Amino acid sequence: MAAVAMPVHGHWAWDARGDGRAVRVSTHPESGLLNVSLWREDTCVGTARLRPDEAAGMIAGLTDGLAALAARPRVVGPDAATLADLEHRLLELEQRPTAWQRMTSAVTAWAVRKAVRGRA
pLDDT tens across the length of the chain (120 residues): 555 555 556 889 988 888 889 999 999 989 999 999 999 998 999 999 999 999 999 999 999 998 888 887 665 666 767 777 888 888 887 777 777 777 888 888 888 888 888 776
Q: How many other CB atoms are there within 10 angstroms of residue 27's CB atom?
A: 16
pTM: 0.51
35 burial (CB, 10 Å; 0-12 / 13-18 / 19+) is buried
The Cα–Cα gap between 113 and 116 comes to 5
Q: Strand, coil or helix: what is 3? A: coil
Closest of 44, 45, 24 to residue 35, by C-alpha:
24
